[in-house]
Structure 1
Amino acid sequence: MLGLMQDRPLALPHIFHRAEQLFGHKTVVTAEVNGETTTTIAELCTRVRRLATALDDLGISADGRVATFCWNTARHLELYLAAPCTGRVLHTLNIRLFPEQLVYIVGHAEDEVIFVDRSLLPLLWPLADKMPTVRAFVVIDDGADTAIPDDPRVRDYEELLAAAEPFSGDFVIEDENTAAAMCYTSGTTGNPKGVVYSHRSTVLHSVATLFADGPALSERDVLMPVVPMFHANAWGLPYGGLLAGSTLVMPGPNMAPQAIVSMLERHEVTITAGVPTIWMGVQPLLGDHDLRHLRAILCGGSAVPKALSEAYREAIGIPLLHAWGMTETSPIASVSSMRSHHEGLTEEERADARARQGYPLPLVELRIADPETGEPQPWDDEATGEVQAAGPWIAKDYYRGEGGGSQFTEDGWLRTGDVATVDRYGSFRLVDRTKDLVKSGGEWISSVELENEIMAHPKVAEAAVIGVPHEKWVERPLACVVVKPGETLTAEEVIEFLRPRVAKWWLPDAVEFIDEIPKTSVGKFSKKTLREKFGGYELPAAAER
């Protein structure tokens, strides 16, 4: 017996038409090189209809890859809608990749057109001749004074839209499993790998951003995604915001802490999102701004230091809302929301609970398993295992089958590479990446937990821990520490601060003070760079476990 419900595809045209019909009066604010611009959703949707025709005029194939090399702006949002709603595949390019990675990704995806903000042309144009699949480079003028190349492949975005007739019908995607967008992840070994999102997965993930125990986006919100739109589709927030009808504030090219906090205040933003390094930079400025309208600051991309979250709670009354995921999980898979069983806890205990990666969102399944044997591990908050994920917005393979399936289990779960414990309520607590654990004398030391304890020191701005070779114990932890401006700190002070906070054998054998922790293209600590920098590091002769 079959149900008698309508079978309509879960596809992005629904989000577009809903925004156009219900929320045309709402606004999108964009920070540009010289000031801000404001447009309505109605105006934006008209431009999307012109852009849909312009893609035809450019000769982009029916399922062609439409690449973007852009900041978070209203015009980038137009591309977020026009490309997938016409059956093409949106491909957001990370502006912080190395040139050779960028060339590889564009070629591997076979991008046919790249839309690029004028301020970013100096990064992209020198590589243009190495991208033979790209037939056009469409320049979006964001006010920068960068020279525009005199080349027949270069087109002007506004001229392109002005010459195009608006698409007048309804956008239709008949098969919800059609590809809507793709992002490349460098979090795996070898070349970056393509993660391809379907219309179905994207719509379901967008709905999840409205869940009460998730970001809980609503029509009443003013949403400012600081996380880049090239970083796993800005964690799905642009689509979620359009679905909910939220007012949108786009931070554009100026990602300086002062610019970010000023926009949060000026536009009375209620919910924002970014990686920990962003909120580390903003934190010293909190006392100078009125942020009373903020109800949530979503933070993810790497483990959120408890000390940072608590600094926000003390300064503005709300801690950071910790979310966990990866490009392969679209990316939000879990959120560390407060639950009923946290009632009655002390503030310190609640802070510990908030610092966890939290609970899987509805429709997402998470488990922990021994990374070598695959055996499931108990949810007792003591046993550790690799986090594995399954669900309708979780990847089942990489584009073109790259990686040989090694990141997927025989029963189809994604192997995330993260190691965690889980309590009896289902709250996950990340202890490390499998490749970042320090194995000392056959036992594991969590670099993440050690970093969080070091960053609790009032004089420490950032800290990263890596394993370095040791003759007796195989590996021992080396702490790389950045001291706050104007402060002085010694290695002995760091060790003494840690003594009552971690097991004796976890104490770093050495502390190196550096100017800055190197970052990856999405703002995470680059431990690979640190391992290269400190390759061959010789620990003190007296180093003992």
Structure 2
Amino acid sequence: MGPATRVGILDWNSRRHFELYWAIPGLAAVMVQLNLRLGPEDLAYVIRDSGTSVICVDESLLPLAEAVAPSMLGVTTWIVMSEKPMSEIQTTLPNVHHYEDLLAASAPEIDWPEIDERSAYSACYTTGTTGRPKGVFYSHRAIVLHSYAIAANVGMTFEDCTMLITPMFHCQAWGLPQAATLVANKIVLPGRYSTEDTGPLTEALISEGVTVTNGAPVIFLPMLRYIEALENKPDLSRLRMLSGATEPPLAMMRGFEELTGAETVHAYGATETAPLVTVNRYKPSVLARLSPDELLELKRKQGLPVSGIDIRLINAEGIDVAWDGVTQGEICVRGPWIARSYHGMPPEDLKDRFVDGY
């Protein structure tokens, strides 16, 4: 594996996944985030389109890997990640290696290469809600600047503890792994979990003293229900919960605040935006003049653009329209970590999606 090699990851939010977040880009290779929720056909398309030739796969996900492997002639190497020795793992994957064996056979130190900051760091694909998934490649420069933006706007310091709930295969887990590492956080990796049983996830959040986390209301709501059933409610007054994917319900935000003191931080972004575009946190001037109900109503909105991001609202003719809360338009975004194209898409198909840097 060398510079520009595309290395895919099929894994949960695990220690090995976190190691690969640094090892792959650190070697000047490109980390390809493979979405476990994609069907085999779309997943195979992502692997082919990205040019992935090496895939690291958790043992529990071998059936998914084996389902796509026969059509993946470009994948030359499969690496299984497991606590079991290779002799106890059954798989039909070709040219398969064991992650821990490779580590044990490697030198403990290497000379890290100097990498062009504008070269590709990683790739993430949209989930294909309109046609096939579309590839977005992020540069090293974009990720560094995005990490600073996340840390600054969430108010992260070295005293924080960050839990990665959003899948690490989805848009860098919203940039929290890099931001948490940037400010030397304690990092909690929950591994595999389900919305049907968020008890272990919630208990880990409480016992580890988590102060920053991320997720969607579909995860946070069951966690709130679990806390409601506890006899002794935890003090989570330092916790900032980055909420995305859909609007956080008022009852959820109120419940966390009243029961635990936790703050729900509504934000907006997309795969194409790495993802941070806006963050909704109260300024002191707003706290001073709005009632509690008005503050909660305001928290439903996506917030203000973070520094470095430009936003326009345009009509069908490309003319800027008023930001008055009434006029409809198309949101256009640009910035140092905003995508400028989709991977491999012909110029004629890009012209209506990326205009004048937006």
Does TM, normalized by the shorter one, top 0.5? yes
Residues 269, 293 of structure 1: 8 Å contact kept? no
The more displaced of 379-388 and 138-147 is 138-147
1:90 match: 31
Q: Comparing both structures, which one devotes a greater share of its residues to helix?
A: 2
Question: Alpha-carbon deviation of 1:317?
Answer: 1.9
Question: Alpha-carbon deviation of 1:305?
Answer: 2.3
1:254 match: 193
* Cα distance change of structure 1 residues 409 and 69 upon mapping to structure 2, 3 Å threshold: closer
Question: Alpha-carbon deviation of 1:277?
Answer: 0.8
* Cα distance change of structure 1 residues 206 and 63 upon mapping to structure 2, 3 Å threshold: same
TM-score (norm 2): 0.92
1:123 match: 64
Residue 338 of structure 2 corresponds to residue 411 of structure 1:
no
1:190 match: 131
Q: 1:392-407 counterparts in 2 under 5 A?
A: 392-401=336-345, 404-407=349-352
Question: Alpha-carbon deviation of 1:76?
Answer: 0.7
CA distance in 1, matches of 2:210, 2:340: 36
Residues 224, 251 of structure 1: 8 Å contact kept? yes
For residue 116 of structure 1, give the secondary structure of its aligned residue in structure 2. Answer: strand
CA distance in 2, matches of 1:182, 1:150: 27
CA distance in 2, matches of 1:171, 1:72: 27
Q: Comparing both structures, which one devotes a greater share of its residues to strand?
A: 1
1:313 match: 257
Residue 189 of structure 2 corresponds to residue 245 of structure 1:
no
For residue 241 of structure 2, give the secondary structure of its aligned residue in structure 1. Answer: strand
Structure 2: gaps (5+ residues): none
2:220 match: 279
CA distance in 1, matches of 2:216, 2:154: 15
Residues 309, 319 of structure 1: 8 Å contact kept? yes
**Aligned residue type for 2:102:** L
Residues 209, 240 of structure 1: 8 Å contact kept? yes
Residue 81 of structure 2 corresponds to residue 136 of structure 1:
no
* Cα distance change of structure 1 residues 258 and 319 upon mapping to structure 2, 3 Å threshold: same
**Quick one: which of 195, 203, 217 aligns to 2:156?**
217
Residues 268, 294 of structure 1: 8 Å contact kept? no
Residue 290 of structure 2 corresponds to residue 345 of structure 1:
yes
**Aligned residue type for 2:261:** G
CA distance in 2, matches of 1:270, 1:144: 36
The more displaced of 315-324 and 355-364 is 315-324
Question: Alpha-carbon deviation of 1:144?
Answer: 12
Question: Alpha-carbon deviation of 1:189?
Answer: 2.3
Question: Alpha-carbon deviation of 1:293?
Answer: 5.7
Deviations, residues 359-396 of structure 1 (Å, cap 9, x unaligned): 111101112222x2222121222223221101000001
**Aligned residue type for 1:366:** I
CA distance in 1, matches of 2:357, 2:252: 36
Residue 326 of structure 2 corresponds to residue 382 of structure 1:
yes
1:366 match: 311
State the percentage of identical aligned residues: 35
CA distance in 2, matches of 1:199, 1:309: 35
**Aligned residue type for 1:334:** T
**Aligned residue type for 2:223:** V
* Cα distance change of structure 1 residues 266 and 135 upon mapping to structure 2, 3 Å threshold: same
**Quick one: which of 108, 118, 121 aligns to 1:177?**
118
* Cα distance change of structure 1 residues 161 and 373 upon mapping to structure 2, 3 Å threshold: same
Question: Alpha-carbon deviation of 1:294?
Answer: 4.0
Residue 302 of structure 2 corresponds to residue 357 of structure 1:
yes
Question: Alpha-carbon deviation of 1:147?
Answer: 4.4
Residue 103 of structure 2 corresponds to residue 161 of structure 1:
yes
RMSD of aligned C-alpha atoms? 2.0
For residue 253 of structure 1, give the secondary structure of its aligned residue in structure 2. Answer: coil
For residue 36 of structure 2, give the secondary structure of its aligned residue in structure 1. Answer: coil
Structure 1: gaps (5+ residues): 1-59, 414-545
Residues 235, 261 of structure 2: 8 Å contact kept? no
CA distance in 2, matches of 1:64, 1:70: 19
Structure having greater relative contact order (Cα 8 Å, sep ≥ 6): 2
Question: Alpha-carbon deviation of 1:126?
Answer: 2.3
* Cα distance change of structure 1 residues 99 and 335 upon mapping to structure 2, 3 Å threshold: same
Residues 237, 260 of structure 2: 8 Å contact kept? no
CA distance in 2, matches of 1:112, 1:216: 39
**Quick one: which of 35, 41, 54 aligns to 1:100?**
41
For residue 192 of structure 1, give the secondary structure of its aligned residue in structure 2. Answer: coil
For residue 350 of structure 2, give the secondary structure of its aligned residue in structure 1. Answer: coil
Question: Alpha-carbon deviation of 1:268?
Answer: 1.1
The more displaced of 151-160 and 197-206 is 151-160
